[in-house]
Amino acid sequence: MKNTLIRSVCVFCGSGNGSEPIFLDSAEMLGRLMAENGIRLVYGGGSHGLMGAVARSVLGHGGHVTGIIPHFLKNKEIMLEGAQEMIVTNDMHERKRLMFEKADAFVALPGGIGTLEEVVEQLTWAQLGQHNKPILLANISGFWKPLLVLLAHMREFQFIRAGLEVQYLVAESVPEIVPMLEQSALMKSRQSA
């Protein structure tokens, strides 16, 4: 299946592998599926952890990778060799702006506080009407369940209320991700037509 609406996906994920082997397996599978579907990867540019795994997998299956890394992280996260496009930014703000501009959708694999911050920022921008790009939480082994519970808690206490809903997708397995993104983009394009 070749995508028509989703041409590039920004993947947020950990610079470590995490404690469960399924996290690394999922990153590698996502990279393969993106490449097979002609979807370009936009990501943080590092070679460690899940970040490096998804990027190497995209490259290994003939896909295109755009890495975007701030100057101060070039040595700490070790820039990935072989990416077709590697952009070095002055700071994190410029990095996140470019990641946003170059992506048609966002996927959050398991990760740490940086991953959380990046996906929550996209949720916030969408909530405020700054974009309508699909945002998907890859809930591998229930990783994002605490965030989903927190979002439900915010709705219960009416801090997320009518008119300020937070729109996101949740995939329990990697093979669901590309079809869910494509379906969401199709629905959004029909709504705006």
Sign of CA dihedral 24, 26, 31, 32: positive
Residue 106 has pLDDT above 70, yes or no: yes
| pLDDT attached to residue 53 | 97
Q: Counting Cβ atoms within 10 Å, is residue 127 exposed (0-12), middle (13-18) or buried (19+)?
A: middle
* Mean confidence (pLDDT) of the chain: 94
What is the distance between the alpha carbons of residues 189 and 21, in angstroms, rounded to a whole number? 37
Residue 104 has pLDDT above 70, yes or no: yes
The least confident of 22-26, 125-129, 186-190 is 186-190
| pLDDT attached to residue 193 | 66
- Taking each helix axis from N to C end, the angle separating 92-102 and 113-127, rounded to the nearest 10 degrees, works out to 60
| pLDDT attached to residue 1 | 47
> What is the fold, at CATH topology level, of the domain defined by 8-192?
Rossmann fold (3.40.50)
Q: What is the band of 148 on the pLDDT scale with cuts at 50, 70, 90? A: very high
